[in-house]
Structure 1
Amino acid sequence: MKKGFFLIFTLFVLALNTQAQTQSKDEKEVAAAVAKLRQGMLDGDKNALDQVTSADLTYGHSNGKLEDKATFISVLASGENDFVTMDVTDQTIKILGNTAIVRHNFSAQTNNGGTPGSTKLGVLLVWQKQQGKWKLVARQAFKLT
């Protein structure tokens, strides 16, 4: 009897765990958009960055500096901000209708203006589904201790 209960309990827990790990279609699309944003930032790719950002983008840095879409893209495309490596960890995605809230930790090696550096940040991204595509509308970073 105890073995049967344990087996049923174990199967129940596994089923819940599998269900919790399954991403919805929107979550998968947002995760893909975040990956495209990351790659565009690494490559300084104007076209990729333009495709995943909203015209109304507000991009907040951990030092309080704010950029609009044009500035965000030009700073990366010009190499003024140059990411050598970029790792994203502990990412969560929450879908609320046509809005997605993404949180993750971000660590990178940089070469801004020829000066090597590194950074570790927490990041909040707000995405909105616009004309069937997920677009970044807001980003705010904060320094991790």
Structure 2
Amino acid sequence: MFLTNPYISMNTTLMLMMCFFGFAAWAQTSDEKDIATTVEFLRKAMIDGDRASLEKITAPELSYGHSNGKLEDKSAFVEAFVSGKSDFVTITLTDQTIRIIGTTALVRHTLTGETNDSGKPGSVKLGVLLVWQKQNGEWKLIGRQAYKLPQ
């Protein structure tokens, strides 16, 4: 009866497929959670201007692109935040997506925030692409590009 009933067979097949795809999604969850935590660590470090945290989370090869087209390497990126030249008072991230491809992670989100760059108050709304690479078991930021969105 079990093998000859097409509905039971179809249900069994569907349940097995759901279990398989559920397991596949679960397998990705660990890296996605790690990336989400790492992005939050970066967000806080940018607000705090914390040199040690900014240096820890970024790779030596960092290419950091601003929405105005300016590019910075790791040293310039860290120094800008530590000195207050780039100063986020608040950062809110929304619409975040994470895609893991081997040892690379692509993160996209909308960033809204209040700034105080070089003592000049302002606000931003940006689309952001972050590129992360797993190096020695830790996710490091290797690329970032922002673009302006209508406020």
Normalised to the residue count of structure 2, the TM-score between the two structures is 0.81
Deviations 1:93-128 (A, max 9, x none): 000000000000000101111111000000000000
1:58 equivalent among 63, 68, 81: 63
2:100 equivalent among 87, 91, 95: 95
Runs of 4+ off more than 4 Å: 19-23
- SS of equivalent residue, structure 1 residue 24: helix
Which sits farther off after the overlay, 122-131 or 20-29?
Answer: 20-29
Structure 1 segment 8-87 matched on structure 2, within 5 A: 24-87=29-92
- SS of equivalent residue, structure 2 residue 42: helix
Q: Which has the larger radius of gyration?
A: 2
Show structure 2 runs of 5+ residues with no match: 1-10
Aligned letter for 2:127?
G
In 2, Cα distance between the equivalents of 1:32 and 1:43?
A: 17
2:136 match:
131
- SS of equivalent residue, structure 2 residue 85: coil
In 2, Cα distance between the equivalents of 1:21 and 1:117?
A: 40
Normalised to the residue count of structure 1, the TM-score between the two structures is 0.85
In 1, Cα distance between the equivalents of 2:104 and 2:118?
A: 35
Identity %: 55
1:98–1:67 CA distance, 2 compared to 1 (3 A): same
In 1, Cα distance between the equivalents of 2:109 and 2:136?
A: 26
1:21–1:86 CA distance, 2 compared to 1 (3 A): farther
Show structure 1 runs of 5+ residues with no match: 1-7
1:21 CA displacement = 8.3
In 2, Cα distance between the equivalents of 1:21 and 1:126?
A: 21
Aligned letter for 1:34?
V
In 2, Cα distance between the equivalents of 1:109 and 1:21?
A: 36
Aligned letter for 1:79?
G
Deviations 1:26-79 (A, max 9, x none): 111111110110000000001111111000000000100000000000000011
Aligned residues: 131
1:120 match:
125
